[in-house]
Amino acid sequence: MSMLAEKDRDVEMALDQKFLSLSAGRTAPPGGFLYSQAYNAKAGNDLRKAFKMVTGVSAGYNEEQAFKIAMSGWVGDPLSDVAILKIRREGRDVHAVMQSFLNDGIKGVSNAPEELEQIWQQVSTPPQWVDWKRIENGAKIYRRFGVEGHRYQGISSLDMYRVLSIARTLMSTGQYADDTAYKRFLLTCNFWTQISEPNGMKIFNEGWKVTLRVRLLHTLIRRAVFGSPRWEREQFGMPINQSGMLTAPLISSVMMCKSLQILGYKVTDEEVEDVIHLWQYVAYIMGYQQENVFPSDIKGAVQAMHDSLLLNPPSEDPDCIRLGRSFLDSFKPSKDAALMQRARQWVDYKIGIAHSAFFVSPDTRRAMGTPNPWLWAALYAATQFPKNRIQDLRRLSSPSYAAGLDEKVRAERKHWLQTQLTDADMNYTPKSKY
């Protein structure tokens, strides 16, 4: 529906103002600040034990940092939010403006809002802390995990789907449940692929473009969810907020690198920190504010992840459960698929079940009623661990082998995506939800 055809434009304009000023004057985080209680609870102790086992880091009590992370839950992406809403209220085609901006920069947008010009200044000139050598090495290590990394990031999201604010946001888009879940996962895999291709995050390259595109699209989603009667602003804060923009990169960097060791992968701490550096820059392009917490080392990243999870206790709300079940069920073989496609889908589904044993908490598996994973987990680990460990030992000792392995894994993940996504899928444009 066109914004200019709204039945009550004044109501929408008033809602825009509430949306843009949500963080003003706030002195306490959304939903209160229950860090101390969560830290001392059994679930908090269990979380620290799990983190110690997986990462080797002992997370501690950091109330000051946790409070900063919690307060960032009131904030979305102020520059993008103002810019996109201005464009929308002028009756312009937001998606056409976005495409011109991505292809040609600020010179491609006539009468650009001041806030869009400020975004251009941000994303066209890397900040001083950016080290391109580290970003490129981080991208190389990140793509080392190939399709396995995509699968990890997908299945590990089941625990995050139990955060009610995340579930409400995703369910409100209508693109993460039931028959749409798998395609949305594949499109996210394409994002992960593009940002980690060689030079992918250089200006106007595909990783940079898709990251900036996601940033701008997030405003449309954020505003739509904010206007939903099911969104509890005082409890949840801002949809797709700064706190979430921290958690997702930490899962994709330190947590993935450390967690996948159970399947035989071996990466050095220096390599892990280069992956963190890559994701810090991705987060920056996506609108994460530099004044907020973003650790640069493994210890700091694990501590920040620990604090973020304590601030977002798991829920058994029906939205959370439906979202998780829909995601896992979306991997099941399609009845209409050809024999070979069904076989591939069956393998992917069983790998997902195996992954759930390693990368999904027992409580979430119980809440979502996932199949017993242990037989498939044992079989999968037994076949993957030796292969991955041998490859990484050779990679770490032979630059020529490392280069060949990199080319092989890049080709494999591209092929995996191309067999499942069409060009139309890759150019997906969401419909306005408000």
The average confidence (pLDDT) of the chain is 94
**How much is the pLDDT for 214?**
98
Q: Look up residue 419 and give its two tokens.
A: 């067999």
SS3 category, 70: helix
H or E element, residue 425: helix 423-426
What Cα–Cα distance (Å) separates residue 274 from each residue in 376, 381, 410? 32, 26, 19
Low-confidence ranges of the chain (pLDDT < 50): 1-5, 424, 431-434
Q: Measured at the alpha carbon of residue 56, what is the angle toward residues 68 and 268, in degrees to the nearest 5?
A: 100
Q: Measured at the alpha carbon of residue 374, what is the angle toward residues 373 and 378, in degrees to the nearest 5?
A: 120
**How much is the pLDDT for 420?**
85
3-state secondary structure 81-142: HHHHHHHHHCCCCHHHHHHHHHHHHHHHCCCCCHHHHHHHHHHHCCCCCCCHHHHHHHHHHH
Dump pLDDT digits (tens) for 202-244.
999 999 999 999 999 999 999 999 999 999 999 999 999 999 9
Q: How far, in Å, CA of 306 to CA of 389, rounded?
A: 28
Q: What is the DSSP letter of 427?
A: T
Q: Look up residue 367 and give its two tokens.
A: 């809440």
Nearest by Cα to 22 from 254, 193, 240, 194: 240
Q: How far, in Å, CA of 300 to CA of 258, rounded?
A: 14
**How much is the pLDDT for 171?**
86
**How much is the pLDDT for 175?**
60
Amino acid identity of 127?
A: P
User: Alpha carbon 217 to chain centroid distance?
Assistant: 14
Buried b (16+ CB within 10 A) or exposed e, 213-228: bbbbbbbbbbbbbbbe
Q: How far, in Å, CA of 207 to CA of 137, rounded?
A: 15
Q: How far, in Å, CA of 400 to CA of 390, rounded?
A: 15
In degrees and rounded to multiples of 5, residue 419 shows phi and psi of -75, -10
Nearest by Cα to 207 from 198, 216, 194: 194
Q: Look up residue 91 and give its two tokens.
A: 């009756």
How is 177-229 classified by DSSP, letter by letter? SGGGHHHHHHHHHHHHHHHTSTTTTSTTSHHHHHHHHHHHHHHHHHHHHHTST
| 267 Rama class: left (phi>0) / alpha (psi -120 to 50) / beta | beta
**How much is the pLDDT for 173?**
73
